[in-house]
């Protein structure tokens, strides 16, 4: 059965890869993001291949706009089967005592509060219908802090705890909750973290073959299509030469 899948942060990286993979799976998509032009391009790309796509332009940090967009969904789009809480980012890589207040607030408001906003807006309908799936994009960073990762790691630890708590809260229903925890994924993640410093971002992936957005999207689609009695609660996905959030073995070539 084809599903209606809502993906936040769908204009790049893991979110865009999820959009393409769920489209290949035959699902129809509600794609949200901050940049209307990028959403329009993605909608054109996917509709040309036969996928039904609805786009919503808002920042998950803007609770009022998010609420307005979800409540204004056309009737045929209101029954959301899968919510992919993907919108998130890392900013800065400094010791906690040298961190940027602005960077901290952006990460907390996006990675934690934005995820909670979308969950609060979408999940009640799932509970009422007694079906649905929430897929949260966490991180290996949520398992243990690494040097200079402090607040970002804290936000992804919160994603794990929020996912676990939601899974308990909906255990009386047929709703499933999945927390995906990627390691090194080569997207625009590091470029964003380093505020556009492309050279510094490239060094993050030097000497190792990192994961791609497609690798994470493959797992998301697999989890969403597991048999109804199977709940893929949590998946840690690492590059082959990554042992943990802080242990990465790089080639010397």
193, 93 Cβ separation under 8 angstroms: yes
Q: What is the pLDDT of residue 120?
A: 98
pLDDT tens for each residue of 36-68: 999 999 999 999 999 999 999 999 999 999 999
Q: Is residue 253 scored above 70 in pLDDT?
A: no
Instruction: Using pLDDT thresholds of 50, 70 and 90, give the confidence band for residue 201.
Output: confident
Q: Which CATH superfamily is domain 4-237 in?
A: NAD(P)-binding Rossmann-like Domain (3.40.50.720)
Distance CA 225, CA 2 (A): 10
Q: Is residue 92 scored above 70 in pLDDT?
A: yes
- Residues in contact with 215: Cβ distance below 8 Å, sequence separation at least 6, in sequence order: 182, 185, 237
Q: Is residue 25 scored above 80 in pLDDT?
A: yes
Q: Is residue 139 scored above 70 in pLDDT?
A: yes
Instruction: Count Cα atoms within 13 angstroms, Cβ side, for 232.
Output: 19
Q: Is residue 236 scored above 70 in pLDDT?
A: yes
Tokens of 195: 């505020």
Catalytic status, residue 152? yes
Distance CA 81, CA 69 (A): 17
Nearest to 135 by CA among 191, 182, 173: 182
User: Residue range 192-196: average pLDDT?
Assistant: 89
Exactly one of 97, 146, 152, 205 is catalytic; name it.
Answer: 152
Question: Residue 202, Cα to own-chain centre: how many angstroms?
Answer: 22
Distance CA 184, CA 59 (A): 25
Task: Give the β-pairing of 234-237 and 82-85.
Answer: unpaired
Q: Is residue 114 scored above 80 in pLDDT?
A: yes
Q: Please give the angle made by the CA atoms of 19, 212 and 7, to the nearest 5 degrees.
A: 25
217, 187 Cβ separation under 8 angstroms: no
């Amino acid at each position: 059965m084809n599903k209606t899948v809502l993906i936040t942060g769908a204009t790049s990286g893991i979110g865009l890869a999820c959009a393409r993979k769920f489209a290949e799976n035959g699902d129809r998509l509600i794609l949200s993001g901050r940049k209307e032009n990028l959403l329009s391009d993605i909608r054109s790309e996917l509709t040309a291949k036969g996928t039904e796509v609805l786009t919503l332009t808002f920042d998950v940090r803007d609770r009022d706009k998010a609420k307005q967009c979800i409540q204004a969904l056309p009737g045929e789009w209101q029954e959301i089967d899968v919510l992919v809480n993907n919108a998130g980012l890392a900013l800065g890589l400094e010791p906690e005592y040298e961190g940027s207040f602005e960077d901290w607030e952006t990460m907390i408001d996006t990675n934690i509060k934005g995820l909670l906003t979308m969950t609060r807006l979408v999940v009640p309908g799932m509970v009422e219908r007694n079906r649905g799936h929430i897929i949260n994009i966490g991180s290996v960073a949520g398992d243990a802090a690494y040097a200079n990762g402090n607040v970002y790691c804290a936000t992804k630890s919160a994603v794990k705890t929020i996912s676990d708590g939601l899974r308990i809260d909906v255990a009386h229903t047929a709703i499933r909750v999945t927390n995906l925890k990627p390691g090194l994924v080569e997207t625009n993640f590091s470029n964003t973290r380093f505020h556009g410093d492309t050279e510094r971002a490239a060094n993050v992936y030097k000497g190792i073959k990192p994961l791609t957005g497609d690798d994470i999207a493959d797992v998301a689609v697999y989890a969403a299509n597991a048999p109804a009695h199977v709940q893929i609660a949590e998946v840690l996905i690492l590059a082959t030469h990554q042992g943990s959030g802080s242990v990465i073995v790089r080639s010397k070539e």
